[in-house]
């Protein structure tokens, strides 16, 4: 009997425990579901708030775009009035700007050259300066943007010019037995250009071209600097002075003569080919 009672008691205990555990498990599941639903609701609320803010931002963006469009229209109208006053079109201004862009690129390319190579292409700088001078006469130059752009380009040209050598020449050290004809023949391939060496080194050689000393360093002229001109066959001072690359006025021949009297001598009508002249004012 005692054994049976124990068995019945144990069975009852198991049943009670099962009921208790079942109630506890159900209660735990019910709490988890509530939390889940609460979190879902929180997410839904946040999504709704975000959508509301997005809609608000979209409305503000639409409003700003409308204001920007209105402002662009006002700006276009003002520019239209400015172009009308200047007597030009927007297309004219764009073409003007494009020319400045092209020159800027050309100057950047020239800036990558060595000073010697840049010197050889100095006429391109002359052409650009001349073109910029012409562009200044356009009514478009009155626009601040264009004035600033042209000033910047002129500054770049000045910087490039400053980096160029003042003249193109090599140096030669005189040795025993040298004379100008011999040096000219060795340097230029013909002795007849000896006066080129003499006129370019007049300050060193002095009045007598037949007298040069050993170990003296002479400059062997290779190309004209901006302030130099080498006399060619058939040249005279008036013709040289009248050249646009020199003085642009044949009546200024006397100024040219006075600046080179030490090389030319007393007779202004007698100048020799290959003489290197200095251009006054350069």
Q: Read off the pLDDT of residues 91-110 as tens digits, 9 standing for 90 and up.
A: 999 999 999 999 999 999 99
Taking only the tens place, the pLDDT of each residue in 191-232 is 999 999 999 999 899 989 999 999 999 999 988 887 899 999
Q: Rounded to whole angstroms, how far apart are CA atoms 31 and 277? A: 107
Q: Element (H or E) spanning 228, and its range?
A: strand 228-230
Helix 2-86 to helix 90-110 angle (10° resolution) is: 100
pLDDT digits (tens, 9 = 90+) for 156-169: 999 999 888 777 88
Model confidence at 249, pLDDT cuts 50, 70, 90, reads very high
Number of residues that this document lists for the chain:
282
pLDDT of 10 over the 60 cut: no
C-alpha 95/C-alpha 270 separation (Å) is 51
Q: How many CB atoms lie within 10 A of CB 224?
A: 17
Residue 190 has pLDDT above 60, yes or no: yes
Closest of 176, 177, 111, 97 to residue 141, by C-alpha: 97
DSSP letter string, 164-210: S-SSEEEEEE--TT--HHHHHHHHHS-GGGHHHHHHHTHHHH-S-TT
Half-sphere exposure of 72 (CA within 13 A, CB side): 6
Model confidence at 181: pLDDT above 80:
yes
- Helix-strand-coil percent breakdown of the chain, rounded to 5? 70, 5, 25
- CA 180 remoteness from chain centre: 45
Is residue 23's pLDDT more than 90? no
Token reading at 218 = 């002479």
> Which region among 33-47, 120-134, 222-236, 260-274 has the lowest average model confidence (pLDDT)?
33-47
Is the model's pTM score more than 0.85?
no
């Amino acid at each position: 009997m005692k054994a049976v009672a124990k068995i019945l008691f144990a069975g009852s205990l198991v049943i009670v425990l099962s009921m208790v555990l079942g109630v506890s498990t159900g209660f735990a599941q019910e709490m988890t579901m509530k939390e889940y639903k609460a979190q879902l609701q929180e997410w839904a609320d946040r999504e709704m708030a975000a959508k509301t803010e997005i809609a608000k931002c979209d409305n503000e963006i639409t409003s700003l775009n409308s204001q920007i469009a209105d402002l662009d229209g006002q700006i276009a109208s003002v520019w239209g009035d400015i172009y009308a006053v200047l007597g030009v079109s927007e297309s004219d201004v764009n073409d003007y700007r494009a020319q400045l862009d092209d020159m800027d690129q050309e100057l950047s390319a020239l800036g990558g050259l060595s000073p010697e190579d840049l010197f050889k292409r100095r006429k391109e700088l002359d052409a650009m300066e001349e073109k910029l001078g012409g562009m200044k006469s356009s009514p478009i130059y009155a626009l601040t943007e264009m004035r600033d752009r042209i000033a910047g380009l002129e500054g770049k040209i000045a910087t490039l010019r400053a980096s160029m050598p003042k003249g193109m020449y090599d140096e030669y050290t005189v040795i025993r037995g040298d004379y100008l004809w011999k040096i000219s023949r060795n340097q230029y391939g013909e002795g007849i250009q000896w006066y080129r060496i003499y006129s370019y080194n007049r300050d060193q050689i002095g009045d007598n071209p037949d007298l040069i000393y050993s170990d003296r360093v002479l400059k062997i002229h290779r190309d004209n600097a901006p302030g130099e001109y080498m006399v060619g066959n058939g040249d005279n001072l008036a013709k040289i002075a009248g050249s646009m690359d020199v003085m642009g006025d044949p009546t200024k021949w006397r100024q040219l003569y006075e600046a080179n009297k030490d090389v030319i001598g007393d007779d202004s009508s007698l100048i020799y080919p290959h003489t290197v002249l200095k251009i006054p004012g350069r």
